[in-house]
Every structure is written in C-alpha cells, then in structure tokens.
Homo-oligomer: A and B are copies of this chain.
Amino acid sequence: MSAPEIEQLIQLLSKLPAFGPRSARRAVLYLLNKKESHFAPLMASFQTVYDHIIVCPICGNMDTQAPCSICQNPGRNPNQICVVRDVADLWALERTGVYKGVYHTLGGVLSALDGIGPEELHIQSLLDKVAAGGVEEIIFALPATVEGQTTVHYLKDCLKDYPIHISALSRGVPIGGELDYLDDGTLQMAFKARRDV
C-alpha cells in the first residue's frame, strides 16, 4: 500500500463525479511526477476558487462577485428570466452566447423517486421575483426528462395567474443528428413539431 497521506487523497478524489479509486490513483501519481509544473499551479488554483467563488444570491450562479457578473450586467434584460436546473446548465447556455436575459437556478428538478419536492428547490424565490412585478418572460431550459418536464408543468401551474410569457427550449433533431441513430421519442416529437420551411 502507498503512504496513508496518499490513500486519504485518493479516497477524497475518488468521491468526485467521474472519478473512481483507480483514476484517482493515476491522477495523484501524475501530479507527484509533475510537482512544479502542474501540482503547484493546481493547488494554487483550487485555493483561489475556494477563497473567491461565491453563490449569487439573486440567480444562484457562481462567480467572484455577488450579485454575479450576469445579474450586474446592464446589457442583460432583468425582465427575461431563464430557469435552469443548475450552474452547469447555466454555463452551458452562456457558452452559446445566444441569451441576453438573466437566470434563475432551481438547484435540481422535482423527483418523487429521489424525494425532491418543491420545498427542496429554489421555487419560492422565483415566484417572489415574479410577484415583485416587471418580469415579462420565463424561459424553461430544463432537462428533456420526465423529471424536468414535470418541473416545467408544476412551475407553469404556479405562474398561471401572472400575465407573463412562458416558453421552453424547442425539442427536435440535434444538429448533425442522423435520423437512423436518433431515439424513437425524439424522432416522434420532431415529426409532430415539424415546421414550415
């Protein structure tokens, strides 16, 4: 066995998503072989992120400032709110550069199986934002899963008394998608939602 210090690090690393004990061990050995060129900068970077990254109290994004750079940006429309499951999905949308409104992070989606009800999610704060007035559009960018769509229906019901425009991401054939390799559900939905060209 290796030294207990290394075993402890391997154990902590292997709890990360996409990591197992074997890949954690490989990563630790890799770092020990590149102490100055990679290990030291990685630790410094971890420390910086740990010290400076905070959760935005408005949208739930993670940034060095609170409110985050998106919420503070005067070029973004605060009356258009895109509802996402988590920060990873928020960043994925930001990488596309297509959206110029603000976000609201739910922190998950409703799931009876995992015991996640409305109280476990940041739903009340979303309703409070709408109740405060000014919001014109809510865009649901939630996963195309049963849980994601259940959450959309639930939220739509909560928001039905407000005069706001509610939309959701379109479903269909992804770019580059070969019909032959597409799952039946997506193909069926893309066919039903066909558009004039």
Contact = CB atoms under 8 A, between A and B. Distances in A.
15 contacts: A2-B63, A5-B48, A5-B53, A5-B64, A6-B62, A9-B42, A17-B23, A17-B26, A17-B27, A18-B27, A25-B91, A26-B88, A28-B49, A29-B86, A32-B49
B95 A1 contact: yes
A69 to B, nearest CB: 8
Given A1-B94, A45-B12, A87 B17 contact: no
Interface of A: 1-3, 5-6, 8-9, 12-13, 15-19, 23, 25-32, 35, 38-43, 45-50, 52-53, 62-64, 69, 86-88, 91, 94-95
A92 to B, nearest CB: 9
The A interface, classified by DSSP as helix, strand, loop or mixed, is: helix
